[in-house]
Each structure stands twice: as structure tokens, then as C-alpha cells.
Amino acid sequence: MTSRIVLASRSPRRKEILEKLGLVFEIDPPEIDETPRESENPS
């Protein structure tokens, strides 16, 4: 059985990490707005 990696995010940093690891993956971002609100902390 072959596994596949799906990056379900628009994060450019996560994409960069997977690329640096030499992994083959596809990007399928969610259809929601992931922009943090002004009052949200990044953690």
C-alpha cells in the first residue's frame, strides 16, 4: 500500500518544510479563512 501526504493548509512554511525534506505531497487547503483575528495569539 502506498501512502500519500496531503498538506491541508495554505501555510507557506509547512510547504517549505515538506519540500526541504524531499517529500512528495499534494496541497489541498481548506475552503475556510485561516487569517488570525487581531485578538488571537499565534500559539
The 10s digit of each residue's pLDDT in 2-33 is: 889 999 998 999 999 999 999 999 999 989 88
7 to 31, 32, 40, 41, 42: CA distances (angstroms): 13, 15, 23, 23, 20
The pLDDT of residue 6 is 97
Domain segments of the chain: what residues? 1-30
For the record, the C-alpha cell of 29 comes out as 487547503
3-state secondary structure of 7: strand
User: From CA 37, how far away is CA 3, in angstroms rounded?
Assistant: 35
